Amino acid sequence: MSLPVHLVPSLAGVVAGDDVTVEGDEAHHAVAVRRLRVGEQVVLTDGEGLSATGEVASTGKRLMTVTVFETHPSAYPQPAFTVVQALPKGDRGELAVEVLTEIGVARIVPWAAARSVAVWKGERAAKSLARWRATAREAAKQARRSWFPGVDPLASTAEVTGLVRAAASAVVLHEEGTLPLASASLPAEGEVVVVVGPEGGLTDEEVAGFEAAGARTVRLGAEVLRTSTAGLAAVAALLSRTDRWG
């Protein structure tokens, strides 16, 4: 059985024999929800590539101390995948974030596409972004990731176009695409951007703008996937062509 994973602000400079303190909500979840007790083993991670295995030395109210046995540095995964996710309806956005995190995406960018049904404005935008980030954090712990994904603030189409232009490779998923996903170039290193449109589909202007910035418009197959699962399918297919899944 895999050890439970908990997030700490930093593990920089931590070596075997050191004590690391876990506080606040993270400690509450470990002690009150998971009911970890003194002597049980646990994995700590800072979400920035460093994890540590250790033993619970003490617990308290919203407090836990772990004595480290060993640390485990992890290289940043390459190529790194960024998924631009058009805002879906309801809680499908959180589903997309969860599965993209589990599969190893490095960055998730919520996008206000022209035909997005959902709208993030004002207080709703702040709450929605917080939910996406919390979902990514919990999914990263569940997947036992050492590198946690970033979740950007809501991006405009112009900002997404800039991401596409700066990427080592970029694809736009489109049910009317004539090129198969397998035709997309895939670098050994650098950022690969995958753009996922909304339920209402992409506009001709959006597609043209992304293509002008260097993206290839591709299709996944004969089936039309939901916006909340299309990114998962595309990234999985691309990962299968890399050393990460080799």
Query: What pLDDT digit, counting tens, does each position of 71-113 carry?
Result: 999 999 999 999 999 999 889 999 999 999 999 999 999 999 9
pTM, entire model: 0.94
Of 13, 44, 73, which marks where a domain is finished?
73
d(CA 118, CA 92): 10
Q: What is the pLDDT of residue 136?
A: 98
Antiparallel, parallel or unpaired: β 179-180 and 216-219:
parallel
Residues 52 and 106 placed together within one structural domain of the fold: no
Q: pLDDT exceeding 90 applies to what percent of the chain?
A: 88
Residues 218 and 155 placed together within one structural domain of the fold: yes
Of 73, 95, 128, which marks where a domain is finished?
73
Q: How many domains does the chain have?
A: 2
Q: How big, in percent rounded to 5, are the helix, strand and coil portions of the chain?
A: 35, 30, 40
Does residue 1 carry a pLDDT above 70?
Answer: no
Determine the residue type at 48. E
Q: How many residues does the chain have?
A: 246
CATH number, domain of 68, equals 2.40.240.20
CA distances (Å), origin 75, targets 49, 50, 51, 72, 191: 7, 9, 11, 10, 15
Site of tokens 């489109």:
174
User: Is 170:213 a contact under the CB 8 Å cutoff?
Assistant: yes
Residues 55 and 147 placed together within one structural domain of the fold: no
* Summary mean pLDDT of the chain: 95
CATH number, domain of 191, equals 3.40.1280.10
Residues 34 and 94 placed together within one structural domain of the fold: no
Q: Which domain holds residue 142?
A: 80-245
Residues 85 and 23 placed together within one structural domain of the fold: no
Residues 105 and 145 placed together within one structural domain of the fold: yes
Residues 124 and 38 placed together within one structural domain of the fold: no
